[in-house]
Structure 1
């Protein structure tokens, strides 16, 4: 009788590092402050009750007020920066392909703080996890422990924390490879949008609350664009601290974050002592440059008129280091780590395989709103579709799970608009399905 062959397994120790907003945070009384159920998260933004997330002067001086406990188990949302999905599917798939589930661990961190705060903790966690797993490999005879090294899978800001830990805290010594999903190596104009959101419009509580929070968080300053993104009428220059101060940002936090980014060494194609594989979001409408005038900002979906697109948060060219090849996936930033394509990409890299795009229909882009009022007629504009027969838009109310289908109308030039009205207050997941790829999705907040 023929025996069934086993699939190749991952022998390395694997550490999953989430992105911005991707870690649950608890206070000294063990209450969840970030990572709430969707209904409670929506109520917090609609009520403007986000001040307990603001970074205090004591925290900037080094005190610890909130404790990261685990990776997200429920969708999270911040206006402008949009939604981030749980990492449950990624963790489950990695555990299923590892030599034993104990090979896979998660590293939650306080994403509000600068990457220099989280990097040494990540290095310590990486060394400890690797040593524990090597001991188990030896004791259970799963393989040669001397062949075991550490692999990090990082989403978004987690890639910057990993790079800081590798360059300045010795983690590079034990790393075999790093896989990043949507990491803003050169920042995102969306971070500037967050710092000006709701300014001058006090009735728009969610964007204004997001701005008030972002203005205090060193970690969100670490996402500021580091490429030439300021459009001065036909020429591009870098964003500087004076620009940010004119937009009412914190000049000290801006200067400190620039210094942290400079220490990452991303200005040159400096070789790394480990393999780096980058997956980038593509084909989605993405803010890529900004025009500044008298303290006002106009955000543009292009660089000098050329639309490179991205993942709706990070422009495509900013999501990989200089000189590195990147795998492009048509998806929004927050759901990147949840998609089947990204999970397959990660597993392939950990097994030493190459990855290629799946067969199927062409990629689509989706302009999905982030905040809307009750009863408002909502629109999602889809690009890259031949007609609304080739694409469908649905939304799911995250409180009850009830789906709603949107009506489509062809605009021409490969664009289709889908409309819906009367979504109930709360968080909704909007999905654009076109076949061949996972649905392009994001989280929408409906409320006054």
Structure 2
């Protein structure tokens, strides 16, 4: 060996084993992340791939009539709506904005699994309560673990792992899927499920709820709103799943104090008081359930609603929150008023609601893209491949992105980029999700506290705004562009 080759790395031998997990993996999507079908008609009522269908459904007053909760469903007689699979296409909803498909996460998980049979995609009816879906997940996870342990590929995989340990469960959960995982691990569902779980990784899970859930129930109160927002409120007003996402912390700023939402508040703002009470009780019970080997991927750096004020049943959201001392008293200014803090978040869930425990990986992500981001998928893969700690946080400085959730054809709208001082090396691209129009680069302007770009779209559709920074970080958000109100059914109402 000469000096030129002494330190040259040697390639792995051809027969080297790939670093694959022997564990059984369960992927749980967030709210609206499962395709749903009406069993009576056989029609897909949520999750079609066509952007044309998405536009039509949100601009038709009866576009989502099949998704509304029936009296039988509210009494627990479910089955009319059937979950089919995790979303394979981009979707959009007011306030929650866009949700990217789960294809990248599914592909990333399968790349680490010993066999496709080791991976379960748990689709669920997200209209129902977290408690109901938690029970169903517990049953499905138990069946999946037993089936995988009996699979021939399981024994081949465990022979290449430390101590030939048999498979345990790893839950990979996005958004509300983390709450459902926590509910599934309730010993009342399966006394041994927690012991059979090696790890839980959550992506942007609102463990303490999100102010946007309250805003959804409040839509239409006090001022005219676009048809999609009004339709979402009508859809969610009696939906247990959305009530499970209501804030479970002192989010209501009330004079010089802060308090939690009460069932009476929820009724006043447009929700269902009994569903709010049941959701609050369920959240208290879930808080006592620990998540084995938990790792939380948390979106940061995005403008996020964190608190609210209430006036005559109308909420005003705020991008700041309050904090408490160890004795539970509020941190206050010298004049006695509460100190306000902007902890930001992922655009939907503020950081302190998603960061359960100390094992947190912060990434500059928007909520709907958290399960599709390459860095987030990489964090999942590292956890799957080994039992060791994930290591230091992987998030670079990145940037924040703020867009409207809804725009109109021909009307200009603004993109706002935060967290960086200069547009040098930053690109802003706007592209249609279905490829019906070519991508365009938006011109960036340096404003007082942020970088902005004005965009005007000529055709209706679902568009993806993608920001790339010179440190190679990327953040994206979906925006639905509608025809003018006069071209929309019911638009002049």
TM-score range, shorter chain: over 0.9
Distance 1:359 1:51 in 2: 41
Q: Quick one: structure 1 residues 435 and 34, their matched pair in 2 at CA, closer, same or farther if it must change by over 3 Å?
A: farther
Q: Which sits farther off after the overlay, 433-442 or 234-243?
A: 433-442
Cα pair 1:24 1:68 within 8 Å, conserved: yes
Structure 1 residue 379: Cα displacement: 0.4
Structure 1 residue 390: Cα displacement: 2.9
Cα pair 2:401 2:415 within 8 Å, conserved: yes
Structure 1 residue 115: Cα displacement: 0.9
Cα pair 1:16 1:105 within 8 Å, conserved: yes
Alignment counterpart, residue 185 of structure 2, candidates 151, 154, 166:
166
- Structure 2 residue aligned with 1:337: 371
- Structure 1 residue aligned with 2:42: 30
Cα pair 1:359 1:436 within 8 Å, conserved: no
Q: Quick one: structure 1 residues 325 and 139, their matched pair in 2 at CA, closer, same or farther if it must change by over 3 Å?
A: closer
Q: Secondary structure at the match of 1:307?
A: coil
Q: Deviations over 1:297-356 (max 9, x none)?
A: 1100001431100000001000032x4331111111011010111111111112234244
- Structure 2 residue aligned with 1:42: 55
- Structure 2 residue aligned with 1:21: 32
Structure 1 residue 357: Cα displacement: 4.3
Q: Which sits farther off after the overlay, 245-254 or 308-317?
A: 245-254
Q: Quick one: structure 1 residues 271 and 156, their matched pair in 2 at CA, closer, same or farther if it must change by over 3 Å?
A: closer
Structure 1 residue 123: Cα displacement: 0.9
Distance 1:39 1:132 in 2: 40
Query: Does 1:316 pair with 2:351?
Result: yes
Q: Secondary structure at the match of 2:182?
A: helix
Q: Identify unmatched segments of 5+ residues in structure 2.
A: 1-10, 323-339, 486-493
Alignment counterpart, residue 184 of structure 1, candidates 193, 206, 211:
206
Distance 2:245 2:12 in 1: 54
Matches within 5 A, 1:42-441: 42-48=55-61, 49-63=63-77, 64-137=79-152, 141-143=156-158, 147-167=166-186, 168-170=188-190, 171-202=193-224, 204-266=226-288, 271-272=290-291, 274-304=292-322, 305-321=340-356, 323-350=357-384, 351-353=386-388, 354-358=390-394, 362-401=397-436, 402-413=438-449, 415-441=450-476
Structure 1 residue 193: Cα displacement: 1.0
- Structure 1 residue aligned with 2:13: 3
Distance 2:362 2:248 in 1: 21
Structure 1 residue 359: Cα displacement: 7.8
Q: Quick one: structure 1 residues 250 and 70, their matched pair in 2 at CA, closer, same or farther if it must change by over 3 Å?
A: same
Distance 1:60 1:260 in 2: 16
Structure 1 residue 124: Cα displacement: 1.1
Aligned residues: 441
Structure 1 residue 248: Cα displacement: 2.0
Q: Which sits farther off after the overlay, 141-150 or 204-213?
A: 141-150
Cα pair 1:290 1:299 within 8 Å, conserved: yes
Q: Deviations over 1:31-86 (max 9, x none)?
A: 11111122211211122312221111111112221100100010111101111111
Distance 1:258 1:314 in 2: 18
Cα pair 2:221 2:313 within 8 Å, conserved: no
Distance 1:440 1:2 in 2: 35
Structure 1 residue 211: Cα displacement: 1.1
Cα pair 2:23 2:118 within 8 Å, conserved: yes
Structure 1 residue 385: Cα displacement: 1.9
Q: Deviations over 1:179-212 (max 9, x none)?
A: 1001110000011111112334456101111111
Distance 2:319 2:150 in 1: 51
Cα pair 2:362 2:395 within 8 Å, conserved: no
Cα pair 1:358 1:437 within 8 Å, conserved: no
Structure 1 residue 235: Cα displacement: 2.0
Q: What is the alpha-carbon root mean square deviation over aligned residues?
A: 1.9
Cα pair 2:149 2:166 within 8 Å, conserved: no
Q: Quick one: structure 1 residues 437 and 389, their matched pair in 2 at CA, closer, same or farther if it must change by over 3 Å?
A: closer
Structure 1 residue 438: Cα displacement: 4.4
Q: Quick one: structure 1 residues 166 and 358, their matched pair in 2 at CA, closer, same or farther if it must change by over 3 Å?
A: closer
- Structure 1 residue aligned with 2:336: none
TM-score (norm 1): 0.94
Distance 1:133 1:52 in 2: 36
Q: Secondary structure at the match of 1:110?
A: coil
Q: Secondary structure at the match of 2:371?
A: helix
Structure 1 residue 358: Cα displacement: 4.6
The structure number with the bigger radius of gyration is 2
Q: Quick one: structure 1 residues 196 and 423, their matched pair in 2 at CA, closer, same or farther if it must change by over 3 Å?
A: farther
